[in-house]
Amino acid sequence: MLRRKRTAEAASDPAAALIDRGPSTAAFLAYTRRMLGDNGVSETRLACSDLTGLNLSQREFPGIDLRGFALGKTNLERSNLTGADLRGVDFATTNCVSTVFCGADLKGANLAFGYFTGANFTGADLRGARLADSLTSGCCFCGADLRGAQLGFEHQQCDFRAADLRGTVIPDGFDFVKMGCDITGALMIAAAKPEKQNMRRHQRVQFSPRLLVIDGMSNTPIGELIDMSICGLRIASPSPLKIDSSVLLRIVLPENCSYAKAISCQAGVVWCRHMGSDSTYQTGFRILRISDSDAAIAGRFMEEQKGSRQIAISD
């Protein structure tokens, strides 16, 4: 009888089935309904597991079940998701700065292009999760299970004490100690190198000769463009750039480019490392904002540069 009642509720309310995930999830859904406005739009979005763009910062959601939800551009800063079921969740562009994920289940989750600076993943299950290309400096992964997870140069000053790093996928040249990470008591047997086709999703184009990159605010040179994709870029510079900082970049195009003089975009510093061989620094940026016109110029210019200069990996 109860099952028939729930089936009827699900038919009239497309999000009702999600309430069966537990009282914490039911309370969360009620809260999001109030935020979205109970006008039918909320029901459609919740039924589609779509919570993109909501401000859910500094909230208590322990034990919540959000399996498979899309959280793009959602603000979860300083929220408590202790013990949450977040398997397969897409956190791309989500703000999770200083968010608590202690004991949470994040198996197979996509954290790429999310903001996780200072987040707490103590005891979390991150098996097979993608953490590369996310802002994760200063995170705590004490006792976390990271077997098969993908890490990147963004993991600086992180705490991996007693974490399980067996089979973790790390990029060439990555060194936990050099990144300022604490790996005391961590299991690190047979750490793997990434398969290039799995680490990046969009083609990255290399430039030779390199292009001048200017600070769009001060109009002073920052460095030279090494390579670029539609999501990020890498530059060489004589001095380091601050991790997690945001910079207005202006990429100066060659004089023989007939349709534009430069590409402008707002980009965030994801990682920065010293290149001992030539005393320069390389910095990885994620593109945060770019106008449609600049995106079109960048796409056209990169397309023209493909061929012999194309790096056979995706971003």
What integer pLDDT is reported at residue 133 of this predicted model?
Answer: 77
Could you tell me where in the chain the CATH 2.160.20.80 domains are found? 49-195
- Cis ω before 209 (30° cut-off from 0): yes
For the domain spanning 49-195, the CATH number is: 2.160.20.80
Strand 280-289 to 262-275 pairing: antiparallel
Tell me the HSE value of 80 on the side-chain side, using a 13 A CA sphere. Answer: 7
pLDDT (tens place) for every residue of the chain, 315 residues total? 434 444 444 334 434 444 455 555 666 666 666 655 544 444 544 555 566 777 888 988 888 888 877 777 788 999 999 999 998 888 888 889 999 999 999 999 988 888 898 999 999 999 999 888 788 889 999 999 999 898 877 788 899 999 999 888 887 777 888 888 999 999 886 455 544 444 444 567 888 788 999 998 899 999 999 888 877 889 999 988 888 888 999 999 998 888 999 999 998 888 888 876 667 888 988 888 888 888 888 888 888 876 544 433 333
In the three-class reduction of DSSP (H, G, I as helix; E, B as strand; rest coil), residue 50 is classed as strand
CATH fold of 200-314, please? Thrombin, subunit H (2.40.10)
Could you tell me where in the chain the CATH 2.40.10.220 domains are found? 200-314
Does the predicted TM-score (pTM) go above 0.75? no
